[in-house]
Homo-oligomer: A and B are copies of this chain.
Amino acid sequence: MSYNTFGRVFRFTTWGESHGPALGAVVDGCPPGLALSEADIQPLLDKRRPGTSRFTTQRQEPDQVRILSGVFEGRTTGTPISLMIENVDQRSKDYSEVAKAYRPGHADYAYDAKYGFRDYRGGGRSSARETAARVAAGAVARLVIPEVSIRAWVEAIGGDAIDPANFDPAQIDRNPFFCPDAAAAERWEALIDAARKSGSSLGAVIACEATGVPAGWGAPLYAKLDSELAAACMSINAVKGVEIGDGFAAASLRGEDNADAMRPGGAGADGPEFLANHAGGIAGGISTGQPVTVRVAFKPTSSILTPVETIDRDGAATEIRTKGRHDPCVGIRGAPVVEAMMALVLADQKLLHRAQCG
C-alpha cells in the first residue's frame, strides 16, 4: 500500500515527485487560532534547500511554499492546511540511463518489483526532494508546541565524528554542515570535496534534541513516544538506524549505570532533577521532562558517478554511473528534516495527551 500520511490526530499527508510539477503536504488536525503565514515556513525550507553550497546538489530550487487552505486572516482555522511547493529546475533528460538499469542501493529495483514500473525521473517519489514537504509540515507543527525547542546537528560524516568537547551550538548555523564543532566542519569540507570529486558519496549521523517537552507525553507500547520517533525517522529516505538516548550503547551498560537517578527538583521546578539522561528523555514510552534525544544514521546516497555492477530492466548484466545532480552527502540536509519529524511527532503526542488526559 501507498501510505503517505503520518500522525494520529495532528496528521500530515505528503505528495509529489522529484520531477513533477509540484510537491506538497496537507496538514490536518491543527488547532485553530495559531498565527501562520508563509513566512513561518520559508526559513525552515531555506535551511533544507538544495543548491546553497557546493556541498549539496546543484539543482536550483527556490522552494517557495504557498498556503492554499486552512488559514484565514492570518490564523489557522482548524481545517486542513494545504502547502504547495512548485518544482522549477527539473532536468529529466539526465535520467535516461536510470530508466533502463537499476542503481544498486537505490529504490529502482524494488519499485519495479512492486509496481511493475516507476517514475524514474530523479527518483520520482523516492527522491529526497519529498522531504521538503515534511519540512513545510514540520514548520506548522512547531507552532503547536511553542514550549519546545528543537535543534538538530550533524554528528559525523563518513565516519569522522565531532569531538563532544568542541560542541558549540552557536556553530551549527555557521557552516554548511550543521556542524557544532568548528574543527570538524573544516575537516568535512575537505572530506566532501574529495568524495564529490571522486564520484563517491558519504553517510552521516544526525543528532536531534528537543528541550521543553513536559513529562507525560507519549503512551505505553504501540504509540510510545520512542516508537513514533523511530517510525518517523526511519521513514526518511536513506535512514538505516535510529537510537533514543544512549541507543546501542545502553546495551553495554549495567543497570545501575543506565538508570537516570533522580533528586528533588528544588523550588519552582516542574519535576525532579535527573542526574543523567541515558534514556533520552523517554521512559516506558512517555516523556520524563528531560530533553528528548534521538540519533539517526543516513547511508551514503546510491546516486554516484563511480560505476557499479547491476542489471537492466530485462535482467541483463550491465554497469551504471548515475549522472545528474546529486548530494555527495544527503545526510547533511537531513538535519532540518529530522527536526521536522521531531516537531511533527511531538505536536501529535501533545494533542493525543490532551485528548486522553485533559
Contact = CB atoms under 8 A, between A and B. Distances in A.
B222 A5 contact: yes
A243 B240 contact: yes
Given A241-B244, A243-B297, A264 B77 contact: no
A278 interface: yes
Contacts of A311: 262-264, 272
Contacts of A203: 250-253, 258
A113 B216 CA distance: 5
Nearest to A1: B352
Nearest to A33: B116
Interface string A114-142: 11111101001110001000000000000
A13 B1 contact: no
A106 to B, nearest CB: 6
A253 B104 contact: no
B69 A20 contact: yes
A302 interface: yes
B255 A300 contact: yes
B124 A77 contact: yes
A36 interface: no
A44 to B, nearest CB: 19
A332 interface: no
A261 interface: yes
Name the residue among A8, A235, A255 with the largest chain B CB count within 10 angstroms.
A255
B221 A111 contact: no
A242 interface: yes
Given A223-B3, A297-B250, A356 B29 contact: yes
